[in-house]
Homo-oligomer: A and B are copies of this chain.
């Protein structure tokens, strides 16, 4: 039960969240179409219990907009590059409208060729990748997504930042069910998590960061000034490098170091590109598609049947609750939003 409003928080329907996000984004100067696309990822964040990707992002977008690092009325432009490649130039706007333009083009190419890729270029990226991956799965496709960020993360064995938090996301369509989706940073933790420790005056566990001299540290301020570390040691570091390469130089866009340099101290959201890959199961499986997707269900059953969770399970549980009962928003956040 979400229950009634309290002294500290307010219950809102998702339509109310959407309306608030759109109106604030439009007041921040975004064109109506840009505001609508960006608002949807905040609605998805609140709906799925990911407050860090919910209305809180209105504060982040406000800062990025104030810094002049985003084009407010950008109209993305698509280019057909090859039978299985499409590029969408976001023209300096947020990634969401560019993805919305590219999504049906990617799906059409994946169905025709079996596999296809979408490069989003020249965008400001501040959202999670899972809302996009879910849409790829809604199109009946297997999806992968990658994006660099700002160079905050040192390579394994190194001492200076090279990589961004460089998320990797994957989705698998499950007919009649929520898709299997994961979306994780290749950094050990989100940068915001270290920031929360700093504000709370707590130390961070070993393995999260290095100080500015490249030495392991448990001091969150030192890690923020120095380097974050990847998850999983040299394996996570290898994945972070892959994300830099395939969502940076491969698509002609910035690496995390270049993005941070372009930011030039503004502390705005990362600039650059994103690579999405979509695969049509029917391309490999033809008439056997339903049978083999059903075999995947047995794999999921075997995971959940032993008490383990699927990566997206928590989000879907929150979603069902939010759709029925709305979401609870802290009054302090609403006050902060009202002040911008």
Contact = CB atoms under 8 A, between A and B. Distances in A.
Contact of A308 (B142, B157, B249): B157
A245 interface: yes
A208 to B, nearest CB: 14
Chain A at the B interface: SS class: mixed
A277 B115 contact: yes
B115 A234 contact: no
Interface residues of A, number: 70
Contacts of A83: 83-84, 112-114
Nearest to A255: B299
**Most B CB within 10 A of own CB, among A116, A160, A258, A308:** A308
Given A115-B115, A115-B116, A172-B242, 15 more contacts: A81-B114, A82-B114, A83-B83, A83-B112, A84-B116, A154-B308, A155-B303, A155-B306, A159-B307, A160-B302, A162-B303, A182-B242, A250-B292, A252-B284, A257-B299
Interface of A: 81-85, 87, 112-117, 119, 142, 154-160, 162, 170, 172, 180, 182, 184, 214, 231-238, 241-242, 244-246, 248-252, 255, 257-258, 277, 279-281, 283-285, 288, 292-293, 295-296, 298-299, 302-303, 306-309, 311
